[in-house]
Amino acid sequence: MNPSTPPADDPGLKLSPCPPVEHANDGRVPLKLRRVAIDTYRENVAYLHRDCDVYRAEGFQALSKVEVRANGRRVLATLNVTLDPRIVKCDEIGLSMDAFAQLGVEPGHPATIEQAEPPASIAALHRKINGERLGREDFRAIARDIAEHRYSKVELAAFVIATHASELDREEVYFLTEGMIEAGQRLDWRERLVVDKHCIGGIPGNRTSMLVVPIVAAHGLVCPKTSSRAITSPAGTADTMEVLAEVELPIERLQEIVRAHRGCLAWGGTAHLSPADDVLIAVERPLSLDSPAQMVASILSKKVAAGSNHLVLDIPVGPTAKVRSMPDAQRLRRLFEYVARRLGLSIDVVITDGRQPIGQGIGPVLEARDVMRVLQNHPLAPIDLRQKALRLAGRLLECVPDVRGGDGYGIARDILDSGRALEKMMALIEAQGARPFDPEHPPLARHTFGVHAPADGVVTGIDNVQIARIARLAGAPKVAGAGVDLMRKLGDAVRAGDVLYRVYAEYPADVAFARAATERASGYTIGAPHQVPQVFVEF
């Protein structure tokens, strides 16, 4: 078959020969830019037609790295090649949505494309793949090339797996963290004390940040909370806050809000803070790789870049949490403390109960309902979410010199009970751009079904991983009103047929996926009271 002829079984592709394209003065070929409406999730992708003169003349290969220039700007992208002129024509170059936005031009603007230079750090990557120890300059170069999208997805995966398989020593973790900070911008709030709270993740619900920020900001502390969106979880802080307010804020607007209100709850993607981390996360999470080294570098680079100098870090421990045992938690704690100390960041690591989800709702709307109920001191507010948020906020408040150790919890409780935390949260919501939301009538997905206890007994186990998976199959977080609403927690007595939780989904297909998952494994274990697992925590 001639390469320019479409397959016989695809009558929709009717290709005509490409017209000749005149070359620019510098020898490169100008093509017209086209925005291709494909979300490639943090990966810049370029598209050329297979019969394009440029593709043929320049010896491009699919999945190779190319450099696209227009309007005095450049974008590094992974090349995809198409047969379909409906995607790009022969005189066009297409760019995925994020890549197109980076050039700041209109469709049809002339652009040039050429082979990208190999990453300068590729030799260091190969040495790490071979198990060698890398130095400070090696990690700086790698972080810089990752942030500039010079690595292909294959090379990124190789780096993630290499650092996972041959565990980095603690100084290498510090070098990687330092390199990731330097590859982006760093905020300076010109305040003596800038605080933050972070959880290593893995526990559904657990939306404590949305309570801690208004509590400590109401006390006067600066808390610029920039959070991520969910990748493999049913909701991130940014997804849940987006139910209540805008979270994609220009960096200038974010800074104005923090200076005016002492805090924010925003998505961190617009701030260009530790951009190498954003790229790496897009590879790590789908591979279910979360090594201690990458976790420490990811979290601490983001916090230092955001201008924080005091961090309370939540490490949940439980049978289905990221950290399964107390010895593992202590090892991770020591690594965080070592790297934080080298970076000049004060850190307070708190080991918490990770045996089950925190709160009642799992999914953006359900979690937003729980948060607002806690702030409103509502009788149906989940007690575990309230208590955990108060204890974490109390630990942050105790970094203030005039707050004695042990007094923070009481101060945080008074701020919450008095309504000052709710008042601060409403001010943040208004400043960021409020969205209508009634916690008494949350906009849940249309379809719902209950999952029932198979026998009499006590809830002796809740699988965090399975509950999160069911919520995602139901549509969360892309469908904000989808998710899981828990009716029973550990230690609760149940009778056969009692509803353990309800699943909400917008589309019949999502209902079917989620229902099939619950039938294979509900995520709940029913047994005798003495079978409830115990965990030692450090609150």
> Which residues are catalytically annotated?
290
* Measured distance CA(501)–CA(451) in Å, rounded: 6
**HEC-encoded secondary structure of 320-358:** CCCECCHHHHHHHHHHHHHHHHHHCCEEEEEEEECCCCE
Q: Which two tokens stand for residue 124?
A: 């260091």
CA distance 44 to 36: 11
**Nearest alpha carbon to residue 80 among 46, 114, 50:** 46
Q: Do residues 339 and 296 touch, judged by C-beta distance below 8 A?
A: yes
Angle between helix axes 292-305 and 326-343 (nearest 10 degrees) is 40
CA-to-CA dists, residue 336 to 300, 315, 329, 347, angstroms: 8, 11, 11, 8
* 253 secondary structure, DSSP code: H
User: Rg (Cα) of the chain, in Å, rounded?
Assistant: 25
Say how far residue 286 (Cα) sits from the centre of its chain.
Answer: 12
The C-alpha atoms of residue 202 and residue 230 are separated, in whole angstroms, by 11
Give the Cβ contact number of residue 143 at 10 Å: 29
Q: Where in 366-418 does DSSP place strands (E)?
A: none
3-state SS of the chain: helix, strand, coil percent to 5?
A: 40, 20, 40
Integer CA distances (angstroms), 337 to 173, 238, 294, 302, 349, in order = 12, 26, 15, 15, 8
CB 319 within 8 A of CB 533: yes
User: What SS3 class is residue 535?
Assistant: coil
Match 């982006």 to its residue by tokens.
184
CA 251 to chain centre: 18
Residue 48: strand pairing partners: 81
